[in-house]
A and B are shown apart, each in its own frame.
Chain A
């Protein structure tokens, strides 16, 4: 019996040493010297018994809601637990983590529509899961979350993190520079602020301010936006919406689902965004929770232009400040639903003067012809013309067309360069875009 006890003790000791080695190796591999999720999670646990309102969601959440503004305007302690590409299973886990240590009063769950189509069990990239679990305290629910986050083929990577980036162990320079970063005072004190080449900064309590400013009239994408379909909200997403509602009801926490504003270019480009709103309202009908889509905000209350966005999807610091004020006013009841929202995207677009929000460039495979599709709201047919100036690499610019309704341009096989495209609505330039063409990407 004594021998058996000794054996068990040795097995336990081996497991402990194995785990310590794993943690050490992972620390050597993982470059999180500028991860804001690391600081956010540290602050989340540091706020014990103090958070009143929790925001969870994707980058649309942490870039859109400035907690300094919401704190000031609501008089409550708000915390933004958004993280990159956070899906609802991650949001649910964060709500549970926060609820374990705080007396939450209200949870706001951000619902960027693109992320809701995912089937969690079939994830192939778990980075968005790992950036949360890496900084979560050990608990059974954390490990269950990791298990459910993917197919079992990924479990080894999930539960033995040192395996994830093992190739980095071969880079001596990488390890040396990482060691320097990780032994620096800002890293140890969680006090680093500027991130991503000065384009972003962590501003505390989960809010990340982005300083990129979009040029007016420059919105464009290659190939069309995906339409909203009946699969846009996956079974997994529906399941976690139910779980979040049940959990919050059980704990006496109010829960609200919302979408942060994206550009009108994206809204109009998707074409049938109203179907997403309808689906969300349908899903939540009997749950006791509400869904508010801030894309429906009236311009008179939330006036966002192109320069309030960092790209077609995300607000920058200017836009975030405007949005946070409106959001806080809505939280406090200062603004009512009727005052704030249009009934639909369609209604919103119809209320705006005819305009072109941006251009979609469509190209079939290697065919050297590009088709221009304008994304507009109103009666623009027959009023749109294009000026196209082609600048092949190493050659002089040539004007392909001036103020012509022709919406296609061709370049020679193998030619690379940039096309300067001006889109006119009547006499007014609406889009001014430099488009690289003929390149591999």
Chain B
């Protein structure tokens, strides 16, 4: 069996979390972190973070340093002056940061789009392209540093006086290349406290290690195993029928969740081992009741970033129904573009925006009918307090209704991912068309898995679902494990680690599969 990991432009051989390099790097960093005097810890983390980032390409570090310097100086200025100058500095910081992002990530996309537009207008003129490598994680650190300047501008936080500490905030290696996109209000105070706190508590190290192990399980056992089938079908979709394409789409939805969710858990776990708590990025997204709920659970740090720094400044829902939905569509389209400089990503974003619109439409219609027909609705109207959070007051659904709505959201989201995974919009449409040509062309044992592989995959997905359902029901699995007797607790630790080592997809026959979100 051969596994060809997706190769993303700009991603070199760097220190992937699932590489030997990181497995050697991380314990050394942690050991030194705890051995050296506290006052040097943040400097050590800064050195380690730059080392980590430079493992992809040393030149990238200059770019990150530029972004760091601009936003640090800008925030210091904004923090010290009053009046219109603050707005100008904020705008300059935004232009500098987004300019770099545009240059490296979107220049060719914009030029190609211009060329296409000229072609449509009948002007066949070739537009020059730029030859630049996409720096790993540029979207993440750009957004993180930008949010810091905006927060200082809004007066939410004070400007950080120490350049080195701020540089660590931007470059902190566990979350540097694929998030979570941390907020200064959460991470900076913890970085300031490194010198004061008694770090190295057993609970932090244990919880962090557990979180990392679970992340590796998600990434290596589930995501990279599903990738075998997904890559095979997406790479030559014309050889497959509807059933295989549906299986590939559903598995890609699981792959994406476990790849990015796994990464986030490893990142959070690695930070936790060093006593630093990063924000949640995923909250059981495939158990969402609807699309509004889904986007509160999926890539939480990015969704909240767009809500705080784009949706609300655009007017949010305060300027009427039309503006609200226009704003939603803008946010989803930009979110799509953030993921990749391709029209297919914009298509993915727009489709998800449409899901939101349709969902709100269906809710409004059903609410309207309930209001005019159902006695329950009358009661609801009486009970409903003015201005209360609609989500909170909705009656808890029965299990079957929850399963139905979660399945519907999962299926719709999986369908949208055809635009996310396909190379171009043409490929995505071609794949959907292919699904209408024939029902099935191959047996499930001709999709890259034998019975043994299928068994491992299905059992692993079962474990994932069990853990997610437990979390959804308020059972914190790590806490539950902590409460068990020592023999059971240690058996579970060892079981998780060995399951990942034995059944994970990695190593010489497969190569280390890159994390999908490294491309962003």
| B23 closest partner in A (C-beta) | A156
> Are B511 and A153 in contact, CB atoms less than 8 angstroms apart?
yes
Taking a contact as CB atoms under 8 Å apart, the answer to whether B21 and A166 are in contact is no
Q: Which B residues are in CB contact (< 8 Å) with A156?
A: 20, 506-507
- B508 close to A (CB within 8 Å): yes
Instruction: Please measure, in the bound complex, the distance between the C-alpha atom of A148 and the C-alpha atom of B455, giving whole angstroms.
Output: 36
Is B494 a contact partner of A166 (Cβ separation < 8 A)?
A: no
For A10, the closest partner residue in chain B by CB is: B202
Residue of chain A at shortest CB distance from B504: A163
Q: Is A88 an interface residue (CB 8 A)?
A: no
Known contacts A7-B202, A7-B205; is A153 also within 8 Å of B507 by CB?
yes
Residues of B contacting A163 in the complex (Cβ-Cβ under 8 angstroms): 501-502, 507
The yes or no answer to B490 lying at the interface (CB within 8 A) is yes
8 Å CB contacts to B: which residues of A31-76? Answer: none
Q: Is the CB of B21 within 8 A of A152?
A: yes
Q: In the bound complex, do residue A153 and residue B202 qualify as a contact, i.e. CB atoms below 8 Å apart?
A: no
The residues in A between 149 and 165 inclusive whose CB is less than 8 angstroms from any CB of B are 152-157, 160, 162-163
Residues of B with C-beta under 8 A to A154: 507-508
Q: How large is the interface on B (under 10, 10 to 19, 20 to 34, 35 or more residues)?
A: 20 to 34
Q: Are A21 and B498 in contact (CB under 8 A)?
A: yes
B501 lies within 8 A of A153 (CB) = no
Confirm or deny: B493 has a beta carbon within 8 angstroms of a beta carbon on chain A. yes
Tell whether A394 is near chain B: CB-to-CB under 8 Å.
no
For B205, the chain A residues whose CB sits under 8 A away are 7
- In the complex the two chains form, what is the Cα distance from A10 to B200 in whole Å? 14
B452 at the interface (CB under 8 A from A): yes
1/0 per residue B185-226: CB within 8 Å of A?
000000000000000101001000000000000000000000
Q: Mark B438-481, 1 if CB is under 8 A from A, else 0.
A: 00000000000000100100000000000000000000000000
B494 lies within 8 A of A17 (CB): yes
B494 near A21 (CB under 8 angstroms)?
Answer: yes
- Find chain A residues with CB under 8 A from B490 CB: 14, 17
Given A4-B200, A7-B205, A157 and B508 contact (CB-CB distance below 8 Å): yes
Most interface-central of B202, B455, B501, B511 (chain A CB within 10 A): B501
* A155 partner residues in chain B, CB cutoff 8 A: 20
Residues B483-507 near A (CB distance < 8 A): 490, 493-494, 497-498, 501-503, 506-507
Choose from B200, B452, B494, B507 the contact partner of A157 (Cβ within 8 Å): B507
Q: How far is the CA of A7 from the CA of B497 in the complex (A)?
A: 19
Contacts of B497 in A (CB 8 A): 18
- C-alpha spacing A3/B200, complex, angstroms: 10
A21 CB to closest chain B CB (Å) equals: 6
Contact A124 B508 (CB under 8 A): yes
Whether a CB of chain B sits under 8 angstroms from the CB of A353 is no
Chain B CB within 8 A of A175 CB: no
Indicate if A169 sits at the interface (CB-CB under 8 A): yes
The CA-CA distance from A4 to B34 in the complex, in Å, is 11
Q: Is A170 an interface residue (CB 8 A)?
A: yes
Chain B residues, CB < 8 A from A22: 498
Contact present for B501 and A160 (CB under 8 Å): yes
Q: Tell me, yes or no, whether A167 is within 8 Å of chain B by CB.
A: yes
Residue of A nearest to B495 (CB): A21
Task: Map CB proximity to B onto A1-30 as digits: 1 under 8 Å, 0 otherwise.
Answer: 001101100100010011001100100000
Residues of B participating in the A interface, judged by any CB pair closer than 8 Å:
20-21, 200, 202, 205, 452, 455, 490, 493-494, 497-498, 501-503, 506-508, 511-512
- Which 9 residue pairs are nearest across A and B when measured between Cβ atoms? A166-B502, A170-B452, A152-B20, A7-B202, A154-B508, A155-B20, A153-B508, A156-B507, A21-B494
